Amino acid sequence: MDLNRGNNPNNGKKPEGERPKGSYFTPLMIALILVLLFSWIMNTVEKSQYTETTMSDFFEAKNSGQLAEVELRYDRILYMTKEEAAKDPSRQKACYTGLPSGGDMLALERELIAEGVTVNNQIVEDNSMIMMILSYAIMIGAMFLLMNMLTKRMGGDGIMGGMGKSKAKVYMEKQTGVTFKDVAGQDEAKESLQEIIDFLHNPQKYTAIGAKLPKGALLVGSPGTGKTLLAKAVAGEANVPFFSISGSDFVEMFVGMGASRVRDLFQQAAKVAPCIIFIDEIDAVGRSRDSRYGSNSEQEQTLNQLLSEIDGFEPSKGIVCLAATNRPEILDKALLRPGRFDRRIIVDRPNLQGRLDTLKVHTRKIKLSEDVDLRKIAQATAGAVGADLANLVNEAALRAVRMGRQAVNQEDLLVSFETVIAGTEKKNTVLTDMEKRLVAYHEVGHALIAALEKHSQPVSKITIVPHTSGALGYTMQMPEEEKFLSTADELRTELRTLVGGRAAEQVVFGIQTTGASNDIQRATSLARNMVTQYGMSEKFGLMSTASVQNQYLDGQAYMDCSQETAAEVDKEVMRLLDGAYTDAKRILTENRQLLDEISEFLLVKETITGDELMAYVNADKNALPAPEQGEE
């Protein structure tokens, strides 16, 4: 039972770029070492089976006719004396010795045969030297293939091929194919980036005057606002290669890996400069080195390497480093020093026009039917980021295909808006009649208060069709225009609207349900913000008791006041909520007839529009006293 709004997590995908060729050197080396090791082990094992003797022992045995069996190898003679053979018949050739130097092996063989010794000449038989070299070569080859396969499987070029190389995770695109035309809105960001593009086109123009160009710029904004897209567009506009790597890729299992990745990345980039290096999620490596955010030595090493690389390259070379983050406040100050990422480019959530443009960009290649009104969709999606909108358009297109239509119509867009923002309509949830009544009254409770109050945003839709997000119904409010400021009156109205659902349950049925939990959370956090940050409570006046730390992530505020004050704040928040709840109950009681009528209507129709709601309210309005603007 939600009021509308909320946004989806970023679902932008990182396209697979061109991956540089893996190195074959390391797997080859490893294969070689393995084979050598193997043959050494074999050798030792073989040696341990035999007793090493001297050349004179051998000739002594030969001359005294003690030899039973001899095997001539290219590097040694294996032999067995009659005595040994008698002791242990299962053993063969129990002794070995080297070859007689300069000796004629064939003559030796003939001599032995003449003496009645069994001779097995490996040298003559199979050219063992060549055979051995050949078999070693085959073994090395097989090992190499195996190693190569193994390392491939272990992710990209893998542990072996990529030892200390960033090759495994760096994506290089010679041409991104993305230009500023593909990035809707974000005019200020584009303007700031324009200079970088110009610089990449024509570095001499800048160096001639002696101007130093920024080596890096930091793109700051919530996930899905198009930071990656902007960086790619810069590369596309400047027509230079685009290297991208994510900060989290630097953070490796092995100490020192991250640093070597950084080194390698800049080396690769230097080869093809001018180019753009894009580091996504730079906060993963660039986190402040003081221990407050829990850094570690590996991350510190990586960061130090990054800093020294950035300082190291000549600006005139034409490497520009762009980095993205949604938590600029945790970045190490050293990264933000002049000459490093000293430019900060804010990539905001799009406003109405921005959203409209984003929708236009993403519907460029999609067949739209005539009834489509993108402006309406843009109005409904306040707070959504570019990635949400891209997703919405795609969902709409998929739905159109599912429905067997040739073009996307407005309904597709509206329905997929609900999919993206509020989860898909759950057709098979069966509510009992009583539950349905409760949900209907709850939603009308929200809607009616919003409709009756002066400072509220108009209701555009009320529904009791359940959604997979868990909401059993919701009331959607749509601002008529983009708003950046809210007045205290508007916020108080919002509070009353939020608790209106619970108030309706209480007024009509005298019960309280779990369906209001989300409303209560939102109302509480709004009330808390009013007290702690907006200076809208009587008790604390203009005193701020909390400060926002992660402005671009979750906007969460932390209390920065004494324990006693915090307790007082809680009381004040409670007072605000109580006041809003009392007001809501009063408004609904005073308009009980209207509440019943609209709820019954909603129960039948399941979904009603804002216009239908207003028709009821307006028909009734003259008969009713104007609702008071109650203070808390």
Kind of pairing, strands 95-97 and 77-81? antiparallel
Compare residues 147 and 184 and give the one whose CB is closer to ligand ADP. Answer: 184
Count of all residues that appear for the chain in the document: 632
Give the nearest distance from C-beta 483 to ligand ADP in angstroms. 21
User: Is residue 445 part of the contact set for Zn ion (CB under 5 A)?
Assistant: no
Catalytic residue among 237, 443, 453, 632: 443
Listed in sequence order, the DSSP H helices in 350-405 are 352-363, 374-380, 386-402
Compare residues 22 and 223 and give the one whose CB is closer to ligand ADP. Answer: 223
Give the nearest distance from C-beta 159 to ligand ADP in angstroms. 28
Question: Is residue 548 within 8 Å of 557, Cβ to Cβ?
Answer: yes
Give the nearest distance from C-beta 323 to Zn ion in angstroms. 41
Question: Is residue 398 within 8 Å of 440, Cβ to Cβ?
Answer: no
* 459: β partners: 477
Give the nearest distance from C-beta 516 to Zn ion in angstroms. 6
User: Which range, of 99-107, 456-464, 499-507, 606-614, touches Zn ion by CB under 5 A?
Assistant: 499-507
CA distance 6 to 474: 12
Which tokens hold the place of 140?
């090395």
Task: Please report the beta strands in 139-202, taking only residues with DSSP state E, as ranges in sequence order.
Answer: 171-173
Give the nearest distance from C-beta 250 to ligand ADP in angstroms. 17
Give the nearest distance from C-beta 347 to ligand ADP in angstroms. 6
Question: Is residue 533 within 8 Å of 548, Cβ to Cβ?
Answer: yes
Compare residues 258 and 354 and give the one whose CB is closer to ligand ADP. Answer: 354
Q: Annotate each residue in 446-485 with x if it binds Zn ion (CB under 5 A) or - if it does not, as one string.
A: ----------------------------------------
Q: Please state, as a whole number, how many other Cβ atoms lie within 10 Å of the Cβ of residue 368.
A: 20
N- to C-terminal Cα separation, the chain: 24
Q: Which does 392 bind (CB under 5 to 8 A by kind): Zn ion, ligand ADP, none?
A: none
CA distances from 483 to 126, 220, 386, 398 (A): 91, 22, 19, 32
Compare residues 168 and 361 and give the one whose CB is closer to ligand ADP. Answer: 361
Compare residues 1 and 279 and give the one whose CB is closer to Zn ion. Answer: 1
Burial class (CB in 10 A: 0-12, 13-18, 19+), 83: exposed
Q: Which does 416 bind (CB under 5 to 8 A by kind): ligand ADP, Zn ion, none?
A: none
Listed in sequence order, the DSSP H helices in 202-226 are 203-209
Q: State which residue has the least CB distance to ligand ADP.
A: 386
Q: Which does 229 bind (CB under 5 to 8 A by kind): Zn ion, ligand ADP, none?
A: ligand ADP
CA distance 464 to 393: 25
Which tokens hold the place of 546?
């909390």
Helix (H) or strand (E) holding 475: strand 474-477
Q: Please state, as a whole number, how many other Cβ atoms lie within 10 Å of the Cβ of residue 420.
A: 24
Q: Which does 258 bind (CB under 5 to 8 A by kind): ligand ADP, Zn ion, none?
A: none
Residue type, 324: A
Q: Which does 184 bind (CB under 5 to 8 A by kind): Zn ion, ligand ADP, none?
A: ligand ADP
Residue type, 171: Y
CA distance 464 to 475: 9
443 annotated active-site: yes
Residue from 501, 504, 545, 581 touching Zn ion (CB under 5 A): that is: 501
Window 540-579: residues binding Zn ion (CB under 5 A): none
Give the nearest distance from C-beta 391 to ligand ADP in angstroms. 8
Listed in sequence order, the DSSP H helices in 154-213 are 158-161, 187-201, 203-209
Give the nearest distance from C-beta 464 to Zn ion in angstroms. 11
Compare residues 197 and 359 and give the one whose CB is closer to ligand ADP. Answer: 359
User: Which range, of 274-282, 388-396, 410-418, 497-505, touches Zn ion by CB under 5 A?
Assistant: 497-505
Q: Annotate each residue in 508-547 with x if it binds Zn ion (CB under 5 A) or - if it does not, as one string.
A: -----------x----------------------------
- The H helix count followed by the E strand count for the chain is 24, 17
Q: Which does 1 bind (CB under 5 to 8 A by kind): ligand ADP, Zn ion, none?
A: Zn ion
Give the nearest distance from C-beta 199 to ligand ADP in angstroms. 22
Q: Which does 501 bind (CB under 5 to 8 A by kind): ligand ADP, Zn ion, none?
A: Zn ion
CA distance 377 to 382: 9
Q: Which does 599 bind (CB under 5 to 8 A by kind): ligand ADP, Zn ion, none?
A: none
Crossing angle for the helix pair 488-504 and 517-532, nearest 10 degrees?
A: 160
Compare residues 299 and 363 and give the one whose CB is closer to ligand ADP. Answer: 363
Q: Which does 227 bind (CB under 5 to 8 A by kind): ligand ADP, Zn ion, none?
A: ligand ADP
Before 203, cis peptide (omega within 30)? no
Q: Please state, as a whole number, how many other Cβ atoms lie within 10 Å of the Cβ of residue 102.
A: 5
User: Which range, of 6-14, 219-227, 420-428, 495-503, touches Zn ion by CB under 5 A?
Assistant: 495-503
CA distance 36 to 46: 15
CA distance 51 to 69: 15
Residue type, 368: L
CA distance 249 to 258: 8
Window 322-341: residues binding Zn ion (CB under 5 A): none
State the number of CA atoms in the 13 A half-sphere of 242 facing the CB: 29
Give the nearest distance from C-beta 191 to ligand ADP in angstroms. 14
Give the nearest distance from C-beta 455 to ligand ADP in angstroms. 32
Q: Which residues bind ligand ADP (CB under 6 A)?
A: 10, 12, 183-186, 221, 223-229, 324, 358, 361, 386-387, 390
Compare residues 333 and 365 and give the one whose CB is closer to ligand ADP. Answer: 365
Q: Tell me which residue of 610, 317, 273, 305 sits closest to 461, measured CA to CA.
A: 610
Compare residues 93 and 232 and give the one whose CB is closer to ligand ADP. Answer: 232
Compare residues 162 and 386 and give the one whose CB is closer to ligand ADP. Answer: 386
Question: Is residue 447 within 8 Å of 3, Cβ to Cβ?
Answer: no
Compare residues 321 and 536 and give the one whose CB is closer to ligand ADP. Answer: 321
Q: Which does 519 bind (CB under 5 to 8 A by kind): ligand ADP, Zn ion, none?
A: Zn ion
The single-letter DSSP state of residue 348 is P
Q: Which does 225 bind (CB under 5 to 8 A by kind): ligand ADP, Zn ion, none?
A: ligand ADP
The single-letter DSSP state of residue 244 is E
Size of the site for Zn ion (CB under 5 A): 3
User: Is residue 1 part of the contact set for Zn ion (CB under 5 A)?
Assistant: yes
State the number of CA atoms in the 13 A half-sphere of 587 facing the CB: 32
Binding residues vs Zn ion (CB under 5 A) = 1, 501, 519
Q: Which residues are catalytic?
A: 443
